[in-house]
Structure 1
Amino acid sequence: MRTPRPLPAAVSLVAVGAVVALAIWRPWQGSSAADAASAPAGISVSRSQCGQGLTDVKTGRQTLVVHNTGDAPAEVDLVELGSNKVYGEVEGLGPNTSAPMDVQLGAGRYAIRCLIEDTDAITGPSVTVTGSDQGGPAVVPVTKNDMLPLVKQYEAVVATGVAQLVVKTDKLRADVDGGNLVAARADWLPAHLAYNSLGAAYDAFGDFADKIDGSAGFHPLEKGLWHNASAASLKPIADQLAVDVHGLQADLPNEQVDPNDLGLRAHEIMENALQFELTGENDQGSGTSLNTALANLDGTAKVLAILDPVLKSRYPGLTDVQKWEGRVRVLLTAHKTTPVGQLDRTTREQLNGAVGELLESLAPVAAICDVRRTS
């Protein structure tokens, strides 16, 4: 499992069909007064002039330009007053920096909210927009207070999962230490699936993630078990794997899941499954990649179940997520005992297509669940 990608500096919420999508731009950065003066004129962002210049706004699709005229980095939201919905946002806007904000607005009253370091949120002057065009997707902000109970709930689920992982890994180690490689081959998969169903917590595992399921741990053990390695050569690997799993369990109370990781991982878990399991790249001989992909899907389902209180009122596309999650589950369950390389072309296309649709429907979850300041 890989570490998360960095979030973009500038983001707006735009319509793509009926789904929220992320459009990303790089800000224009002025390194001198002359550069700043030549930047596009736009809406000011600062402690004293938040939202000045929000005047030429209409209904429909348009691009606004925000310019940080202050001396501190800022986040910028375009909000609908009353509903508090965010229609566009720019993150990490540095001093003397401009960025476009692509928005699609309906009739309503809007304002710029400036979120500047070491300063309470500032809401600029409002502007009333009239017209018949429909507004695009928007996000009701998710706050840290919304997410913290969900994080605690998820951490409890992970702790239970890690305890099960410990039991299964100890059994696998006992098989190898006892020289019973037939039993070890049977017990390797349940232990491996126990880890891969943990889902969004893996970034909180630190170095243990690579030790357990990277170039060490499960994968070299798998390679040896399915390529006639001796018990003596596999014993150090199995012993170290068990040590690392116990180390993870002992360290777990010291680790915290980042609230933003829950939404981000909902997409990334299955993205990893598509890249590494459905291609067979991670298979070291056991032919169990589709089992692992199914465990990844279980991990995604756990995340979505935890996030449901936040998502059900904010994401109309949740029904599509559920639809494609069910379709992927049916396909993986039907073919989980088949090595990826032995899948017929039709099945492979069905799997890739269904996972692709699931990923598309999961893509907005990270933006919706991103913790936002509102005060």
Structure 2
Amino acid sequence: MITGAALAVAVATVAGVLVARGSGGSAHRTVAADGLRHTTVGVTSADCGRGWTRPEPGRQVFDLRNTSGAPAEVYLTDPRTGAVYGEVEGLAPGTVRPLRVTLGDGTYAFKCLPDDADAVTGPTVRITGAKVKSGPAAVPVTQQDLIPPTLAYQKWIQGRTVELVRRTDVLRAAVDRGDLAAARRAWLPAHLVYERMGAAYGTFGDADSAINGTTAGLSGGVHDPGFAGFHQVEYGLWHGGSASGLRGPADRLDKAVRALRDSWPGERMDPADVGLRAHEILENTVQFELTGRTDYGSGTNLATARANLEGTRVLLGYLRPLLKTRDTGLTGLDSWLDRAQHTLDSFHHGDTWTPLARLTRTRRERVDADLGELVERLADVAALTDVRRTA
């Protein structure tokens, strides 16, 4: 039988962490199996930052130890500016979790934020004579910071809802007069207007499923009564549906987009979600568009991906004033946006787009790689714009 002490040693060994303790039980620096300097640091209100008594530069690990009875968030900060070098969220009572950072010359302090208690800032330490630069740090974004870009984006969405109604009217009118060839030509321009609005989907509520619902979760598939919106019309247009059979779905779609246009001025997006949405737009693109899961016959997933990319650019444009002073990788992100756009544009030929199924393996791998890299880089935007506790 493994004893509790033996189990603790096993866990520490697997994690590559060896915590050295003196006879008095206080933690001190040691070099662990991972070859990095480890320092055990307390994060409770009473001992926030305690244990870091010999600050040294370089790549290192702080083993954050919560001996209190409440969960806590922990930040390693520059006490002069409030910039955060690293964080651990949800540190449970009685647990130890690592925080890996690279530190150069500067001043540092741990900030501990227990649940249901005020923040506590530990002692300030100074590092001098370093041969390396500190890892990236960013001043936390507040809810107040995010209100102006959120309001500006909401105004942009209002304009798109007007355009959406206009484009959908053209689609409905073509169906009404029985011109299904014209309806197929009108379907994509209308659908792409909606796809550019991706950051607002969470605020749309039930309107999203009425306008752009899929068969996911519907037992009846494309024949389920809950299947509605652009994709229901798409299925009929590209699977031999009749004009009479499509009039009902097209009319309901038209009413849904008009209801969205009329209700949108009274909606309010949550500023705390805006940065996350910048990441989620293309994350959903990779998950649904690049897998063909949302193709109901038109073969236009790559056009949708291009619209999603454009929607991401719009949202980043409103967030850019906040990101310019926080995201050192912004130039690289812009380069990857350009690269992905160039890749997607290569599949556009006049009024048509190359279906996913017709891509060569090389071209498929390229679009997957470009969009996948963007999703990774946009995760940094989500992290930087995450509203953090400061008190």
Q: TM-score, normalised on structure 2?
A: 0.79
Matched, 1:338 2:368: no
> 51, 65, 68: which one pairs with 1:67?
65
Matched, 1:353 2:369: yes
Shift of 1:203: 1.6
Aligned counterparts of 1:179 and 1:265: Cα–Cα separation in 2: 39
Matched to 2:142, the amino acid is T
Deviations 1:288-346 (A, max 9, x none): 11111110011010011111101112222111111121122122223122212122333
Aligned counterparts of 2:249 and 2:119: Cα–Cα separation in 1: 53
Look up the match of 1:191: 190
Q: Secondary structure at the match of 2:155?
A: helix
- Tell whether the 8 Å contact from 2:70 to 2:93 is kept in structure 1 after alignment: yes
Look up the match of 2:209: 210
Shift of 1:134: 2.7
Look up the match of 2:293: 281
Deviations 1:261-283 (A, max 9, x none): 32222222222222322333322
Aligned counterparts of 1:205 and 1:366: Cα–Cα separation in 2: 21
Matched, 1:127 2:162: no
Aligned counterparts of 1:72 and 1:164: Cα–Cα separation in 2: 51
> 244, 251, 260: which one pairs with 1:232?
244
User: Unaligned regions of 5+ residues in structure 2, if any?
Assistant: 1-14, 16-37, 215-227
Q: Secondary structure at the match of 1:370?
A: coil
Matched to 1:326, the amino acid is D
User: Unaligned regions of 5+ residues in structure 1, if any?
Assistant: 1-24, 26-39
- Structure number, greater radius of gyration: 2
Shift of 1:284: 1.4
Aligned counterparts of 1:334 and 1:56: Cα–Cα separation in 2: 56
Aligned counterparts of 1:211 and 1:103: Cα–Cα separation in 2: 47
Shift of 1:194: 0.6
Q: Secondary structure at the match of 2:346?
A: helix
Deviations 1:70-125 (A, max 9, x none): 45443211102223221111223344444322222112221111234454432121
Look up the match of 2:168: 169
Aligned counterparts of 1:250 and 1:54: Cα–Cα separation in 2: 58
Aligned counterparts of 1:344 and 1:63: Cα–Cα separation in 2: 45
- Tell whether the 8 Å contact from 1:54 to 1:111 is kept in structure 2 after alignment: no
Q: Secondary structure at the match of 1:294?
A: helix
Identity among equivalent positions (%) equals 49
Q: How many residues align?
A: 337
- Tell whether the 8 Å contact from 2:59 to 2:100 is kept in structure 1 after alignment: yes
Aligned counterparts of 1:41 and 1:129: Cα–Cα separation in 2: 15
Aligned counterparts of 2:105 and 2:381: Cα–Cα separation in 1: 26
Q: Secondary structure at the match of 1:373?
A: coil
Matched, 1:242 2:254: yes
Aligned counterparts of 2:161 and 2:124: Cα–Cα separation in 1: 50
Matched to 1:348, the amino acid is R
Aligned counterparts of 2:97 and 2:134: Cα–Cα separation in 1: 21
- Tell whether the 8 Å contact from 1:162 to 1:249 is kept in structure 2 after alignment: yes
Matched to 2:284, the amino acid is N
Matched, 1:370 2:386: yes
> 28, 51, 54: which one pairs with 2:52?
54
Look up the match of 1:3: none
205-214 vs 311-320, which deviates more?
205-214
- Tell whether the 8 Å contact from 2:42 to 2:67 is kept in structure 1 after alignment: yes
Q: How does 1:27-176 map to 2 (within 5 A)?
A: 42-55=40-53, 57-130=55-128, 131-176=130-175
Structure 1 moving runs of 4+ over 6 Å = none
> 308, 311, 334: which one pairs with 1:296?
308
Shift of 1:220: 1.8
Instruction: From the superposition, tell whether residues 178 and 71 of structure 1 become closer, same or farther in structure 2 (CA, over 3 Å).
Output: farther
> 253, 259, 283: which one pairs with 2:271?
259
- Tell whether the 8 Å contact from 2:143 to 2:272 is kept in structure 1 after alignment: no
Aligned counterparts of 2:96 and 2:172: Cα–Cα separation in 1: 57
Shift of 1:208: 2.1
Matched to 2:354, the amino acid is T
- Tell whether the 8 Å contact from 1:259 to 1:371 is kept in structure 2 after alignment: no
Aligned counterparts of 1:151 and 1:109: Cα–Cα separation in 2: 34
Please give the root-mean-square deviation of Cα atoms over the aligned residues, in Å: 2.4
- Tell whether the 8 Å contact from 2:39 to 2:62 is kept in structure 1 after alignment: no
Q: Secondary structure at the match of 1:90?
A: strand
Q: Secondary structure at the match of 1:367?
A: helix
- Tell whether the 8 Å contact from 1:41 to 1:67 is kept in structure 2 after alignment: no
Instruction: From the superposition, tell whether residues 330 and 217 of structure 1 become closer, same or farther in structure 2 (CA, over 3 Å).
Output: same
Aligned counterparts of 2:135 and 2:266: Cα–Cα separation in 1: 42
